[in-house]
Amino acid sequence: MDIALDKVCELILRAREVDMKEGMTDPDSGSNPIDDGSTDVLTSAPGDSTEEQIREFIAGLNDDERHDLVAITWIGRGDFEAEDWSEALRTAREREQGSTADYLLGIPNVGDLLDEGLAALGRSCT
């Protein structure tokens, strides 16, 4: 892998934050966060920058690192086995179109898939 493990782990954490969020359910509540159990932190708001941070993070990676992320995701999803790393990486290079951030953010539970892909490759964030 050309991407550092800590970069993948950071992306996993950020992606899981996005996956946990849901749309605004009560945008005009005006309630005190303590009174509502701080559930507003799990809702997406217009000023929420978590997804934008992920996009900037991925945009700051080089081509090889972005291809690694896609290959790790595919392995985590079961499209490829860990033993097929070279093939998954080659396929990621060949199929690259548009924004890697758009592609990855469009995959449900991408953080979990990245984590599972790392585990299959014998790596872990813990």
Q: Is residue 88 within 8 Å of 75, Cβ to Cβ? A: yes
pLDDT digit string (tens) for the chain, length 126 residues: 999 999 999 999 999 988 775 544 455 555 555 565 555 544 444 445 789 999 999 999 999 999 999 999 999 999 999 999 999 999 999 999 999 999 999 999 999 999 999 999 999 998
Give the residue among 57, 46, 47 at the shortest CA–CA distance from 15. Answer: 57
Give the residue among 75, 19, 83, 93 at the shortest CA–CA distance from 50. Answer: 19
Beta bridge partners of 22: 43
Q: Is residue 66 within 8 Å of 11, Cβ to Cβ? A: no
